[in-house]
Amino acid sequence: MKTIGITAHIDRPLIKETTERIIRWSEKNGLKCRLTDNLAEEVNRKDLQVGTNDLWKDCEAIVTLGGDGSMLASARAYGKHGVPILGINLGKLGFLTQVAQNQIEESLLRLKEDRFKIEERMVMEASIPNAASQVALNDVVVDHGGAFRLAKIDLFSNDEFVCPFDADGLVVSTPTGSTAYSLSVGGPVIHPAMEAMAVSPISPHTLALRTIIFPAANVLTVRAGSEDMLLRVAIDGQVAGELALGDEVAVRTAGYKLKLVKFDTKSYYEVLRTKLNWGARPIYNT
């Protein structure tokens, strides 16, 4: 690998210092860097500046600085172009990021020497009324938008009616997103190598409503059924639109897979144990 692109949410702590650290190592070791507009201005390196939307054109990998939100933003911006993305965690949880701060130089060397693997992740595409289609690495959420009443939602799979959802909303999740919002509302953990979509209710009004897992090839349609309530649509945590009575959101598998840079350091199950304390036994005082 000869050239990497660097992108970040510049309001995050340590962004400037970490970017300068990567540039110093890269210039010393013969690895070229390209920076998005705002990041180049932040570190005063206009000579490395590339238009934010064009970063993928000049790079063989994109390094994303920040937390999971930064990774989701990079996935939406660059995933469709097939450029692998590496996340360096400057946030808190960092479930999607691969590299800790004390591993930066080692990881850059691995990139330069092509000592890494590419892991592909399923991505969804959501068609929203009066808005452009958007992609989701984690989830598509339809909810009551803060109203203190139940939302009425109908779910269809390949135009076949599945069931009504009388709940605060529902979460349509990818396997990657199964450890995000979907998990917090009681959904299952799905290994990211699988291809499936999980639909989980948010605070359902009945005990008979639980997560349903659908084949990735299916097209899921979420229809608003509330007469006097606008429902809110969020894509990977970002509000994307509203639904009036009868409006629909169609969710399907995107025509590409996101490529993530992976090193042979931690398995998926180790990440579950260390990041989420999965399966941790309680500590008893004796």
Catalytic positions, written as ranges: 68
Which DSSP string do the residues of the chain spell out, in sequence order? --EEEEEE-TTSTTHHHHHHHHHHHHHHHT-EEEE-HHHHHHTT-GGGB--GGGGGGG-SEEEEEESHHHHHHHHHHHGGGT--EEEEE-SSS-SS--B-GGGHHHHHHHHHTT--EEEEEEEEEEE-TTS--EEESSEEEEE-TT-SS-EEEEEEETTEEEEEEEESEEEEE-TGGGGTHHHHTTPPP--TTS-EEEEEEES-SSTT---EEEETTS-EEEEE--TT-PEEEEETTEEEEEE-TT-EEEEEEEEEEEEEEE-TT--HHHHHHHHH-TTPPPPPP-
